Structure 1
């Protein structure tokens, strides 16, 4: 894997994160990660780093056990959520974990988030809701709640 690939992915994560903050999907919480091609490592932002001011230089390299291999600062607690997805879904290239107000509301009232626009056809069976915090996430509970789907609240 080339250094330019890693640099590009770092820049894309930082840009994506800042855009998600601007759109209200992330605030002080939430993370975007990307799988590094050909290795069991991901890129993710450090804990307690401003999402609104995130740069490519801030991004960590973390293994699938959550150990920081490159970069400054500890990995976020939610790294377990990301690595769980990457272990369970070898086809997953990126994971976005945010707290948009509307989807958070659906998770609190335990109601399915239904697709109501034509471009949301891929979510016609509703987006599943994971019944618990990321800190209590296990591979089994994630697989149960994803039920073979590619998205979850």
Structure 2
């Protein structure tokens, strides 16, 4: 890829210095070099992606919880270079509410929902309900003699 890049640069200089008859032929050569360079770049990018995917799979198989933790954990960088008083005043100004203790006024126009027509059933599910739910569950395997996969 480096040699192709150098050849392209060299050819660009030749195109600028060439006469109008030679320019067309040099442009054809330059486009061919560009196509080869693009193809090599795509191949190199695909190779790097495959390598990275393989490494990620190995890390996941080794310790899935650590892998997931590293995925969502933000990197810690930098140092805090601010005075404590300035930081506290900024946080107080940003995250405090001076009208917190004042009660809210009555809002007109709010509609209260009607009372439920039926009481909530708080008893545990019956055996028949459990069997019905379990038999409908799909676990991507054939059910056994008790119809539970």
TM superposition score normalised by structure 2: 0.19
**Higher relative contact order, chain-length normalized (CA < 8 Å, sep 6+):** 1
Structure with bigger strand share is 1
Structure with bigger helix share is 2
